[in-house]
Amino acid sequence: MAKQTITDGSNSSCSPTPSAIRAARESASLTQKQAAGLIHCALRSWAQWEAGDRKMHPAFWELFQIKSSP
């Protein structure tokens, strides 16, 4: 099965970079709290992903991209 290419150039089996996470959230005009709520995770987790303190699981990244797209 071919890997799906995500809009930032990474593939869906890799964790996104902190800058890609922040850019995607800002592109969707969402606060960190709103973005976390959209994918049913804690605000603290979202903040840690953007800060680079934790890696975002690819499933959360894919869910965010699906739910935040127009």
Residue 3 lies in a domain: no
Q: Is residue 7 part of a domain?
A: no
Q: Residue 26: give the domain boundaries.
A: 18-68
Determine the pLDDT at residue 12. 55
Residue 11, strand partner residues? 5
pLDDT in tens, 16-58: 999 999 999 999 999 999 999 999 999 999 999 999 999 999 9
Contacts of 20 by beta carbon, 8 Å cutoff, 6+ apart: 8, 10
Residue 11: pLDDT band (50, 70, 90) is: low
Is 6 a domain residue? no
Q: Is residue 12 part of a domain?
A: no
Q: What is the CATH number of the domain that holds 27?
A: 1.10.260
64 contacts 18 by C-beta, under 8 angstroms: no
Query: Does residue 34 lie within any of the structural domains?
Result: yes
Residue 2 within a domain: no
Give how many domains the chain has, as a whole number.
Answer: 1
Q: Which residue has the higher pLDDT, 6 or 68?
A: 68
